[in-house]
Each structure stands twice: as C-alpha cells, then as structure tokens.
Structure 1
Amino acid sequence: MKLFTATELLLAAAAPIHAAYTWQNVKIGGGGGFVPGFVFHPKTKGVAYARTDIGGLYRLNSDDSWTAVTDSIADNSNWSKWGVDAVALDPQDANKVYAAVGSYTNSWDPNNGAIIRSSDKGATWSSTSLSFKVGGNMPGRGTGERLAVDPANSKILYFGARSGNGLWKSADGGVTFTKVSSFTAKGSFAPDPSDTNGYNNDPQGLTFVTFDSTSGTTSGATSRIFVGTADNTTSSLWVTEDAGTTWSAVAGQPGTYFPHKGVLQPTEKALYLTYSDGTGPYDGTLGAVYRYDITARTWKNITPVSGSDLYFGFGGIGVDMLKPGTIVVASLNSWWPDAQLFRSTDSGTTWSRLWEWTSYPNMNLYYSQSAAKAPWVKTGFLDVDTKDLGWMIESLVIDPFDSDHWLYATGLTVFGGHDLTKWDTTHNITIQVLADGIEEFAVLGLASAPGGSELLAAVGDDSGFTFASSSALKTSPQKPWMDPIFSSSTSVDYAGASVKNVVRVGNTAGTQQVAVSSDGGASWNIYYGADTSMTGGTVAYSANADTILWSTSANGVQRSQYSSSFTSVSSLPATAVIASDKQNNTVFYGGYSSTFYVSKDTGSTFAKAGALTGATAVRDIVAHPKIAGEVWVSTDVGIFRSTDYGASFTKVSTALTNTYQIALGLGSGSNWNVYAFGTGSAGPRLYGSGDTGATWTDIQGASQGFGAIDSCKLAGSSNTAGQVFVGTNGRGVLYASGSLSSGGTGGSTTSTTTTSRTTLSTTTTKATTTITTTSKVATTTTKATTTTVKTTTTTSASGSTPTGTVPQFGVSEGFS
C-alpha cells in the first residue's frame, strides 16, 4: 500500500475531476449549413472529406453518412479552427489529411490561421501555426482547393493564402511553411474595398492550387502546377513548369471573370475551369466554363449556355476520372427559379440540362428528389420554395472510383446520388439528401420543458426544431418550425406552469417575428401582438402563458399580454438579459451590467433587487423549473443564487468564475443539477454540479470542443436525469448524460451583501419522403438572407450576451 505525501494529497485535491460524459449530436440531420468543398482520395476508394465554413471537417463513411473529425481541436481559445478554408489529401497515403483552418481574416478572429495534419484520417491532429489569418467563413470560401499535396512527393504541400499573403510551401509534410518568393501574384479582389468592418474589404488571395500529375518531375517534385488567383484579368491563372522555381501567367487565358475551380483530367491532359463575375458564395450573375488543353496550350470556351440563358456564374465542377470527357457543372447562384446543372460527355462540346422550360411557367424535371434521411428539408424547404436544387453550389464532385456516385452542396444541405450515369440514358436521376451526420447548425437558443418537450432548439438559417422526447433525439425531425418559418429563430421559452405553451422570436425584419405554440412546439401560429419592425434578441414567457417579455435586438425590452401590441418596458435597459419565474405568473427577472431587476406585475415595471457583489456583467438568468422564487444568475465573477425572488443573493462557489450560459437540469432523485460555462480548475469549459453549486466537475473533457464558450447555448434536461444539451456555433446541438455528486473541484459557499425586498407569493393559477414529379410550375417564393459569424468576447460592459451575428453578408450557414 502506497503512502501519499502531504504534497501529493494537495495536488490530487486540486486536480480537476472529469466525469465520464460521452458527447453525441442531437440528430437534426440534413447538414444545415454551407459545405464549400469536397475532396475524394484519388487512389483509394471510399476516402473523402467535406469541409464546412464554421463546423469543421467531416469524413465520409461507407453508408453515405459523415463523421465529424475536428471536434477536439476547437476549444474556447481555438474556436476559429472550425472554419475550414481548404482541405488536401496525400495521393500516396490515404491516411493523411491536411486542412487550412481559421474563420476570419479581420478583427473578429483574434487568432492566426493554421495548417492541421493527421496521419490517421482525422482521429488525431497536429497543428502548424501560420503568421497570418485564414478565412474559412470569409467571402470566396467556396473556391479552391487552396491547399494541395504534391502527387509525386508527399513532403511537399502548397497553400494559397488570402489577404495578399501569396503562395506558401512546405517541404517537410506540413510541419513548416515558407513563402514562395518567386510567386508574386496576390489575388487583389475584394468585394467592397470601402467596407470598414473588414469582412468585404479584404483581398481574397489565391483561389486554388492544382498539380499536373502528368507533367513528370523536377528534382523529385511535380514539374507543372497551376494556381488561380482572385483576379478577373488575363493573369488570374498561373503556371510553373519547373516545380515552383519560376512562374508565369498562362498564355491566352480569358480575363473577364474570376476563376473558382481548376480540376485536372489526367487522361485528357486537360484542365477544366469554372468562372464567375463574383467570387461567391452568394453572388455571380455571369460566368463561363473553359477547357485548357495542356499539351496544345489552347483554350476552349465550353460554357453550356449563352444569351438570355446565361444569367449566373459557375461554381462547382465534377470531372469523371473513369470516363474522360464527362463533366458536370453547376450554376453558382440561380436565385430563380432554381439552380441549373449541366452534363457533358464530350469534353464540353455539347451539354444537357437537369431541367428545362416547356411552356412557361411549366418545367420538365429530369430528376426525382428524396429527403428520406432528413424529412424536414422537404417539408420546410423543397415543398415551399422554387429552389429544389439549391443555391451557392461551389462544391460538386464525382467519385473517382464510381461514375454513378456524386455529391454537391448548397447553402442548406448536401445533395447527391448513386445513379448519375442515368443522366446519359434515361435522363432521369435520383437526387438524395446525403448530409447524414453533418450537423453544421448555429444554435441560438435551447430549452427543455419539465413534463413537456425534451428539447426546443432555435437555430440560425433553418428556423428551429422540436424534439418531443429523449428518444426523438436520434431521429431527424419531420419538419422545422413553420407557420411561420423564420430564417433564424434567436430565442425560445416555455411557460413553466403550462409547459405545452411555447414562444419563439426571429430575426427577419418586415414580418412578425414572434410565434407561439400550444402543443409543445409541434405546431405554431403567428403572435399578432408583434409588429413587423422588431426582431432578434431573447424572449421570456410568463408561467401561465399570458405575457411575453421580449428583449429585442434594436427596440429595447418590450411586453405584450393577452396578444395585445407590444409596448416598451422603460424600467429595463435595452438588451437586458431577461427570464420569467417558472411557477409564479406575476414575476419576471432582468439583468444589465451589475444590476439585477425584478418585476412583480408581469413585466410591466421592474425595480432593482439584490446585489451581485463584485459583478459587472450579467450574462444569463435561469429560474428553477419547479420552484417559485429560485433564480440563478451568471456573471463575470461567477454564479449567484437566490431563493427569495432575487431579494438577496449568495455566490454559490469561488471555484467557477467568469461564467456565461447556465442551466438547471433534472438530477438524481429529487435533486436538480446545475450546468455552467465558465472558468474552473480545468480552464474555460463546461462544468456541472450536483450539490447546488457547492462543487463543480468538468463534464466537457479534453477531447470534446464546443468552440468559444461565450457563444454556446445550454439547457439541462427537465425530463431525463443527468442529461445536458450544448448548442454550438456551427456543430449543432451536442448532448450527453452522466451522474454528478458532491466532492468535485468547488469551494465553500460564500455569502454576499443583500438588499431586502418584499417576499412574493406563488400563484398557481411518415418516415420516407420522396419527390417524383416530372413537371413543375415555377413560383417566385424567396427568403431573406442572414449570416452567422463569431466574435470572441470575454466581458460584456452592458451585461448582454454577444449574439455573434452581423447583418446581411449573405448566407453563412446557408438559408436563402
């Protein structure tokens, strides 16, 4: 038996306790966001990856599903690594994968970018920091791939940077990178040079790097390499014939549009390129497709359409490696009536379309469409919009080992199928939603109602979803939140004493952005007390579901009772954090900066209440789901608890500080667990307490990243003991279950100064969905666009939680 020293005992006591929580995704399914690129391994069948703009990297499985492989690299300090601007595979080793990661090149991202590398298909990663930023969620993110491995030498990689940083090379398998001084082109295009926030005024740099595997070698490296740049001049495609020693603009190239993709067909010795007058992903009104004959050094314009039929640019291009001359190209954006895809089997000499007009407004569709793996895609989008084929089609690829297998991505989901060659025979293919496992949703609000819906998830770009029970978490919903559908739902809440009553708010100006449900979120109705000018923010529902308090994004705090018009609540500051008491219908809570407020008259007026000693920012307020008057407050100095309606507060622990979202969830027996994002003994991450906050346990663990904790949403299950939900900014909703007991890494309870207030009394007062139509009548349904982005904020002077959004940059996750 070992005897421990006093020092060893102290170290053991200080070490963070980690509970055995295994995290998995709530299955919303269908992707939910923009996938800018796919890469298949050229020599090993079945190896492929999909990169997302804010949700990391996914690996393809044999059953068409996808597995996230970068969860472990995106912790609180490295949240931007979920933005993937490029991915590359080693042609000589199917286990090796590389990615250029980083979300923004402007001030929103405090970190420089990195090239990450794995030798076990993404199970583990090593990282090389760059001296500049990478823009996985910046304009032009669908071009590429900007990163490539030399097919003749696995130690050589090239990376085309943004922001005027040029071309970079690694000669040691991605461990180090040096700038290629002989390459002087920078790619100078910026969508809006006058944009002061840095999002649209940054030069987009190099758009793709493509090795010519047919060119032979120079000193053991591939001799010929093509590089595209974000320029619409006759020097936007560059080539080296001596393995990068010298570079020149390819002679005779077109100079009107920006090059998006440059894909080699080695048997033909041809480079196929798509061009657009915008760099994507949500612009482009003109464009072209070209074939460059490498041997003859001649260009051929093979654009599928001309004249009035050409009203879009071109983005995605799939080149069949088994059938030389067979290619598929897609419109980058055809906002009405739908995207268009073209197929050629003769190297672009002739083309056939995936749909065509008969006599307007009727269309012949040469495809059927299935959303069996994510039914909500059909009910919420395909059935209510003209754009069945999608938008923002920057990524399109044909499996190099299977001419029937293809994939393409839109701003919403991943489409594809396994009968592509039927296009050439019956001219009728089956397009499926093939995004199973990709969960790229930006989650803006979560709730779990005791005795009601297990999970209510408000999401960006796709409205939101209801999961009625814990068993439903593994099944993609039949529909999103509809009637009304919001481009984004920013908050959701339930009535604590009448849990089937739910309210949500959205962020699209011009329509009423409040909806209510009386069946737990299964169906919805417009709340007619809302006007069309108020949007965003957070919402709180009174216990008996008669009053809505709304902290809007731009119109201050508003109140409506019995469906009356919203009126301003002048006694609460604008953007205040709000919550309702879940059992006392007359009580609402508010917080702003260092001040906690209470209303005793259903939100009509608020008064300052108990002190939050030492706090300068109220981040979150949570009322106990079953106990009137118990309220928890998250602040920049930790968590406070009140059992007398906020009249007085106790700081629950000194071990957890700088906290953000908090939640209560059903624990063991009659206990309720407390969950919180904050800084504890294991650093900034997710902690849980089973003893009313006296001690805290790390329930996140080192292998699960949630991104920046200040942008995560949190809910404890009110129905399933020990279950907790985390809403992320780009990886959907993750959940896990476990047991929490006392004896974690917390400290003693510390009392603080209190202010007396009058005690308040409690008042009780079909599984597979397939579209098989062969004709269609076009309509003109459109949707508003939003962009989800992320800024890291460690404090909030006003006390409000950062939303992480900026208006109208188009579509980040991809709602059109």
Structure 2
Amino acid sequence: MKLLSLLFASASVVQAALKWQNVRMGGGGGFAPGIEFHPTAKGVAYARTDIGGLYRLNPDDSWTPVTDNTATDSNWQVSQTASANRWGIDAVALDANNPNKVLTAVGMYTSNWDPNNGAIGISNDKGATWSFTELPFKVGGNMPGRGMGERLAVDPKNSKIIYFGARSGKGLWRSTDAGKSFSKVDSFTNVGTYIPDPSDSSGYNSDIQGLAFVTFDSTSSLINGASSRIFVGVADKKTASVYVTTDAGKTWKPVAGQPKEFLPHKCQFEAKEKALYLSYSDGAGPYDGTLGAVYRYDIAADSWKDITPPGNIYHGFGGLALDKKKPGTLMVAALNSWYPDVQFFRSTDSGKTWSTIWNYNAQGNLDYHYSISTPKAPWIYKNFISVDTKRLGWMVEALTIDPFDSNHWLYATGLTVYGGHDLTKWDTDHNVTIESLADGIEEFAVLDVKSAPGGSELFAAVGDDSGFTFASKGVLNKSPQSAWDNPMFTTSVSVDYAGNKVGNVVRAGNTDGEAPQAALSTDGGKSWKAHGGTAASQTGGSIALSADGDVVLWSTEKKGVLRSEKEASFSSVSSLPSGSLVASDKRDNDFFYGASGSTFYVSNNTASTFSKAGSLGSASSIRDIAAHPTKAGEVWVSTDVGIFRSTNFAETFTKIGSSLTKTEQIALGRGSGNNWNVYAFGTGSAGRKLYGSSDMGKTWTDLQGSMGFGSIDGAKLAGSGNEAGLVYVGTNGRGVFWGQGAI
C-alpha cells in the first residue's frame, strides 16, 4: 500500500525539560554490593549498586541518588542481553581527609556485552557533580565478584594517591594526581587469575576475576609522603591472595602464612589493634559460596589466626564489619546460606567467640534473635518475608557499622537495604530491631509501563520483584502494599489493559519452570489470577489484550505468537512471525497489530489471522507500536527512520516529519483539553533523548534535559491516560521516573 506524503516536512525542537522524580516502589528492588561510611565525618555514607548507580545516605535513613545525570545514552550501550553504563558501580572510595569527596569505579560488564571501557568517577561535592577519568580497560559493576572490595582506595595520608584493582588480568593501577590520571603498577604481578566458569561462552563467568581489594594501613610510616604499608587482595586460590608493600608500592610480596584455598572478599583494617580482618569464600559471589573462612592478621606479629565461627559451615563469608568505637567487635555474613536464611555472626573479642542472629533450638525450630519490619516498603514483608524462610535476605556482601554510632548498622541483600539503631542490644538482650532502610533507593529493572485512561494510573512490570500497580497519581510517592502476586512472577516482562474495559489487565512473566507465566486481573491490577490457558515454556516476550478484554495475544520468547480467547488454551498464530511486536487496538475489539523487521501486520478478526498492512517507507526496523487510547484505528509506529501514523487501521501510514529519527519507544498521553501528546525516544537536534509533541509532531520538545535514563533503546515509555502532561520512563536499574508539564 502506498505511503502518504509527508504530513510535516520539517519540525523544530525546543528545550523545556521536565522535572523528573521517581515513582516510589520503595525498598530498593536490587543488589547493593557495597556500603561505605566515611571514617572521619559523621553521617556521611554511600551505597553502591550493581546496575543503579550510587546513593548518599541522609540523616533520616533515606537515600539520595547522586549519579542520575551521568548515565546518558552516549555512555550507556544496550543489547538484547545486557547493558554497559555508568550506573554500574564496581567500587566506591572515600577520602579520609575530605568528607565532600567520593570516587567510583564505573562500568557494567567486562564481557563483549559491553563495548565501553570503564572510568573512575570523581566528585568533590558529595555527588552533586562528577568528572571522569577514562580507563584503558573495562570495569564490571554487574560482573561476578562485584561484592568483593573495595577495589578502589584513597591513601588516608595523601589524598593525591589512589589505587584501583582491575579485573580481566589488567592488574593494579595508581594515581598520584588525585585521580586525573592512572598508570599501571608494574611491580605488582599477580593479576588474580581465578575464573568462575571457564566454559561459559558468554564471557560473563569466564573472565579473569582480577583484584579484590586495596586496604591501607593508616598507622604505617610515610615514604615520600605516601603510606608505606598497603595490602592488596587478588582472586587466586593457587598461589597467594593477599599481598603487601612496605615501601609505598615500590615492591610487593605475598603475606606469609595466609590461607590459600579460598578467595578473599572483604578486608577491614583495625587501627587500634593493628590488625586486618578478612572474609573468604570458595566462590566469587554474589550467588555462590559453599565453604569459606574468616581470618585475622596481626600486622605487628606477622601472624594469621583462623577465627572462622564454629559449627556446620556450608557457606562462604562475604559482608564484614568492624565497630570502630569498640576495637575487637566485628560482624560477618554468610555468603550464601540460601536455606533457611542468611546468617550473621558477631564477636566482641576479636573473633575468639561468636554468637548468631538465629539458631536452631532443641526442637529443631528456629529461634530468632531479632524482629524485622518493612513499613517503608510494605510489599517486601508481604511478598518476601512472610512467605519464605529467608527473612533476613541473601547475597550479603555489604555489611557495615557506623564508625560514630555502635548501634547503627546497615547491610544490603539482593532485594533491599536493611539495618537498625539498636545493634548493641545483641550483646545484652541478644535481640535487635531490623527494618528495611532503603527509602530513596530505586534500583528496579523496568520491563514495561502502561497507563489506562479511566483506570489504574500506572502498571510497572519489573525484574526480580514481579511488578506494581499505582491506582492514581496521588499514590506515586507511596510504596505499594503488595507486588503483583497470586501468581507472583520472578520477573514480569509485559503488561496491557483492555481499552474499553480498563479494569481488565494481562501480564506476562519470563521464568521457565514457574507456571503459569500469564495472569489476568479484572479490578485494574489490584488482584490477579493465573491465566487458565497457559502451558509449559510459554513465557516472556510481549502481550496484548483486546479492547473488550476477551482475547489475549502473546508473542512469547520460545513458542512463537499465541492467542487465547476467553481463557481457552493458547494456540499458535502462524500468520505472525515469531518474536513479533504485538499491540491491540484500544477501541475496536476485532483489531490487533503486529510488527517484525520492517513489516507491519494487522488483524481484523481478533488476532486469529494477520495480513501485511501499509508500507512504512524506507524503514528497515520497527521498534514500537502505540495504539491511540481513545480513537479506533489510529496507531503510531516507531522505526529506525522515524515515526509513522495511521488513522485507518494500518491500511496506510503517514510519516511524521523528519526532525526525529532513529526512534525507539513511543507513547501517547493526555495533553491539554481533549488533545493527546506524543512521546518518543529518538535522535533529534538535542541528541538521543526523550521528546514530546503536543501538535501531532509539528514540533518536538526536549523533555529529558540533563537527566539520565540510561540507554534510550532500553528505556520504557508511557503517557498518562488520566493526567495532562504526565509521562513515565522505565529504566534498567533506576526504576520508573515521572515528569509532568505542558509541552
């Protein structure tokens, strides 16, 4: 079918960036491999995440993200399997002499998933602004071993001297100009050759693990203005894993007498004892660990002592914390005790004796020496703590005690940040109060977002935590009472609503072995039931619900395109290619749309069969489909050459202008009066970012400004169906953002 002439031959771009803020899912939603308190400035602390950037602690236990504007499309590349960007924080370091300074090692993967080298981020204003020193190698913020550390450290006696332990066999690097440049320390020769799984063809588990930590002896003498004694940990089970220099990095040697069968994870220096404490595991973490140890190294005596807690050790050790106000008091976390729960061990006598946070009693039941609650993220208790033995969490590599307050402690899991303010009760009542303390951390990987006109304001499908419904704009700043459950998918990949019956909603998950992976709601996402027509291996992909809510069209990951009517068993739709994008007309129940490659498809018989639709000109790749929320037959299509629009059920298409190209996700949302805004990610005069139009594409406004959403081809997009000028952006690691304003 013919392509109509250009509707708007040219279009201009104006600047009117919105103010962006997070939708509050609450509780974090992901893994924080490290939390660091400043050693000399009270109340200064940072949490690093593997895919969501860096956060700074606030006095009220909440957190402020400080790296949002560093993750723009230009420094985040995305593929279908992974991403690489400056939200991957592989290490964080604080300057003991400057409480305003924070440094990071950034980069996501060292495999070929990530084409970019890493960098050292430097902020002199607690994360308000950043500069970056590019490195000649990759950094792996989301790689195995990301809980080791910290790999980055500032000399406590000389702020100009910074060390970084690299991955991938790149060795030890040093800066002598406060991070402006780095050079390799050639005298340090053990590059940490442990490989988690040499047979992994993806490169994720088959890369050389590299260096684990850099720890300064702050009591050591100075040589040419630098601390003379430094310890470096490496991932090596065969020769040695802890090295020391006593001449400020000129020469290095293995520390004599050290254990060799494990990998060091955390290393903490206790100045008053002049001792190192180290946690070890037989795996790189953060998921593995079946055996491990805890050691104390007396620097003055040059002697090691095995202080591993007694008992049946079926796990490694990860998180390690020292109480700086009480030398000899320390805590260590199991890595990993997947059943019944993570274990915490505490000693007040330098590791001679230990107590635990839970234990089995004589009857074989668990005695808990804590209480736990999640008032700032109620869904964590409802959907995780109350339904699993793992009440305290898993993957605990981050464990720390406030150096100015022995009662204040924090630890991070694969889900959230926990902590409390009565830790010393462990030593008296043997009972502590634990609470989710992740308010402000939004690390969710968002797979889809939708907004139903006249219905629920926001549906957010997320990785690891199923998904969430927000009934109205008024609750966007309130953590939900529940995640999507009954059934609760590990990951929800797609969600859609029925345009004529907006209380009807469908969602899809992507986990094999968890049946079923399609669920339905008739009350706008408040409650759910499993779709009765699903079968094994029907997972993933994208899903669409007909306008009246009786037909589900599902483009699955492995089983092609499927259709179900009135909850009957799913059957194959052979006329639509496997892996197609799918969407429903939001007003006409008979019509569905599909796309594969450069071809657009349409069905007028409730997705029973599809035929090729109108031409999209020179487009070679269709990226997204957005059916108009209130107009039957109107559909907008995003392609590699820009945006197209049809008003006749895809019989013909009109190209919308030429100023926005290489577009990605597209969405329509309420504008002023009866108008609808168009939102799209693409390349315009302001670069690759989010644009909006209130005049059908005549003009485009940069809505993103300096805000970072990561890669725009991985971001998700929805316009509000209920609130004028409100738009949602789903990110891979920073949750859902919303902004509102006239275009």
Class of the TM-score when normalised by the shorter of the 2 chains: over 0.9
Aligned match for 2:560, one of 538, 556, 561: 556
Matched, 1:70 2:75: no
Per-residue Cα deviation, 1:667-711 (whole angstroms, up to 9, x for no partner)? 001000000010001111000000112211100002x10000010
Tell me the residue number matched to 1:649: 653
**What secondary structure sits across from 1:322 in the alignment?**
coil
Tell me the residue number matched to 1:233: 238
What is the rounded CA distance, in whole Å, between the counterparts of 1:359 and 1:650 in structure 2? 75
Matched, 1:481 2:509: no
What is the rounded CA distance, in whole Å, between the counterparts of 1:387 and 1:121 in structure 2? 35
**What secondary structure sits across from 2:36 in the alignment?**
strand
Tell me the residue number matched to 1:791: none
**8 Å Cα contact 2:12/2:698 also seen in 1:** no
Tell me the residue number matched to 1:711: 714
Per-residue Cα deviation, 1:445-496 (whole angstroms, up to 9, x for no partner)? 1000001000000000000000000011000000100000000000000000
Aligned match for 2:128, one of 123, 127, 131: 123
TM-score w.r.t. length of structure 2 = 0.97
**8 Å Cα contact 1:234/1:252 also seen in 2:** no
Aligned match for 1:161, one of 155, 161, 166: 166
Matched, 1:409 2:412: yes
What is the rounded CA distance, in whole Å, between the counterparts of 2:11 and 2:436 in structure 1? 49
Aligned match for 2:429, one of 426, 429, 432: 426
Q: Which amino acid aligns with 2:553?
A: L
- Alpha-carbon distance, 1:370 to partner: 1.1
- Alpha-carbon distance, 1:14 to partner: 9.6
Matched, 1:60 2:57: yes
- Alpha-carbon distance, 1:233 to partner: 3.3
Tell me the residue number matched to 1:547: 551
What is the rounded CA distance, in whole Å, between the counterparts of 2:651 and 2:13 in structure 1? 34
**8 Å Cα contact 1:234/1:254 also seen in 2:** no
**8 Å Cα contact 1:234/1:253 also seen in 2:** no
Matched, 1:242 2:265: no
**What secondary structure sits across from 2:387 in the alignment?**
coil
Aligned match for 2:32, one of 35, 39, 48: 35
Tell me the residue number matched to 2:46: 49
Aligned match for 2:100, one of 95, 116, 122: 95
Tell me the residue number matched to 2:265: 260
What is the rounded CA distance, in whole Å, between the counterparts of 2:145 and 2:263 in structure 1? 10
**What secondary structure sits across from 1:471 in the alignment?**
helix
What is the rounded CA distance, in whole Å, between the counterparts of 2:75 and 2:58 in structure 1? 27
Structure 1 ranges of 4+ moved more than 2 A: 13-16
What is the rounded CA distance, in whole Å, between the counterparts of 2:74 and 2:118 in structure 1? 13
Per-residue Cα deviation, 1:292-325 (whole angstroms, up to 9, x for no partner)? 011101111010124xx10000000110100000
Tell me the residue number matched to 1:527: 531
- Alpha-carbon distance, 1:359 to partner: 3.5
What is the rounded CA distance, in whole Å, between the counterparts of 1:394 and 1:233 in structure 2? 23
Per-residue Cα deviation, 1:222-249 (whole angstroms, up to 9, x for no partner)? 0100000011235100000010000000
C-alpha spacing 1:508/1:360, structure 2 compared with 1 (3 Å):
farther
Per-residue Cα deviation, 1:385-430 (whole angstroms, up to 9, x for no partner)? 1100111011100011100000000000001100000000011100
Unaligned runs of 5+ in 2: 1-9, 77-84
What is the rounded CA distance, in whole Å, between the counterparts of 1:699 and 1:562 in structure 2? 41
Residue correspondence of structure 1 range 164-243 to structure 2 within 5 A: 164-243=169-248
Paired residues, what number?
A: 725
Matched, 1:726 2:729: yes
C-alpha spacing 1:14/1:180, structure 2 compared with 1 (3 Å):
farther
Tell me the residue number matched to 1:387: 390
Aligned match for 1:494, one of 472, 483, 497: 497
**What secondary structure sits across from 2:15 in the alignment?**
coil
What is the rounded CA distance, in whole Å, between the counterparts of 2:518 and 2:674 in structure 1? 35
What is the rounded CA distance, in whole Å, between the counterparts of 1:519 and 1:73 in structure 2? 39
Tell me the residue number matched to 1:633: 637
**What secondary structure sits across from 2:237 in the alignment?**
coil
What is the rounded CA distance, in whole Å, between the counterparts of 2:428 and 2:222 in structure 1? 40
Q: Which amino acid aligns with 2:494?
A: S
- Alpha-carbon distance, 1:166 to partner: 0.2
Aligned match for 2:620, one of 616, 634, 639: 616
Tell me the residue number matched to 2:299: 294
**8 Å Cα contact 1:14/1:681 also seen in 2:** no
Aligned match for 2:374, one of 367, 371, 391: 371
- Alpha-carbon distance, 1:15 to partner: 8.1
> How large is the Cα RMSD of the aligned pairs?
0.9
Per-residue Cα deviation, 1:365-394 (whole angstroms, up to 9, x for no partner)? 000001011001000100111100111011
Matched, 1:445 2:441: no
Tell me the residue number matched to 1:752: none
Matched, 1:518 2:522: yes
What is the rounded CA distance, in whole Å, between the counterparts of 1:277 and 1:305 in structure 2? 17
What is the rounded CA distance, in whole Å, between the counterparts of 1:110 and 1:698 in structure 2? 27
**What secondary structure sits across from 2:564 in the alignment?**
strand
Q: Which amino acid aligns with 1:53?
A: D
Unaligned runs of 5+ in 1: 1-12, 741-816
- Alpha-carbon distance, 1:532 to partner: 2.1
What is the rounded CA distance, in whole Å, between the counterparts of 1:532 and 1:213 in structure 2? 58
**8 Å Cα contact 2:11/2:698 also seen in 1:** no
**What secondary structure sits across from 2:476 in the alignment?**
helix
What is the rounded CA distance, in whole Å, between the counterparts of 1:215 and 1:407 in structure 2? 29
C-alpha spacing 1:618/1:310, structure 2 compared with 1 (3 Å):
same
Residue correspondence of structure 1 range 743-754 to structure 2 within 5 A: none
Matched, 1:17 2:14: yes
What is the rounded CA distance, in whole Å, between the counterparts of 2:362 and 2:383 in structure 1? 28
Tell me the residue number matched to 1:665: 669
Tell me the residue number matched to 1:588: 592
**8 Å Cα contact 1:233/1:254 also seen in 2:** no
What is the rounded CA distance, in whole Å, between the counterparts of 2:17 and 2:237 in structure 1? 54
What is the rounded CA distance, in whole Å, between the counterparts of 1:634 and 1:566 in structure 2? 28
Per-residue Cα deviation, 1:778-805 (whole angstroms, up to 9, x for no partner)? xxxxxxxxxxxxxxxxxxxxxxxxxxxx
Aligned match for 2:151, one of 143, 146, 149: 146
Per-residue Cα deviation, 1:240-298 (whole angstroms, up to 9, x for no partner)? 00100000000000111100011001111110000000010000000000000111011
Q: Which amino acid aligns with 2:211?
A: L
What is the rounded CA distance, in whole Å, between the counterparts of 1:369 and 1:572 in structure 2? 50
**What secondary structure sits across from 2:583 in the alignment?**
strand
**8 Å Cα contact 1:420/1:429 also seen in 2:** yes
- Alpha-carbon distance, 1:539 to partner: 0.3
Q: Which amino acid aligns with 1:82?
A: W
Per-residue Cα deviation, 1:63-85 (whole angstroms, up to 9, x for no partner)? 00000000111001212111000
What is the rounded CA distance, in whole Å, between the counterparts of 1:550 and 1:239 in structure 2? 58
Matched, 1:538 2:542: yes
Matched, 1:341 2:338: no
**What secondary structure sits across from 1:490 in the alignment?**
strand
What is the rounded CA distance, in whole Å, between the counterparts of 2:389 and 2:553 in structure 1? 36
Among all aligned residue pairs of Structure 1 and Structure 2, give the percentage whose two residues are the same amino acid. Answer: 66
What is the rounded CA distance, in whole Å, between the counterparts of 1:84 and 1:340 in structure 2? 26
**What secondary structure sits across from 1:82 in the alignment?**
coil
What is the rounded CA distance, in whole Å, between the counterparts of 2:583 and 2:671 in structure 1? 22
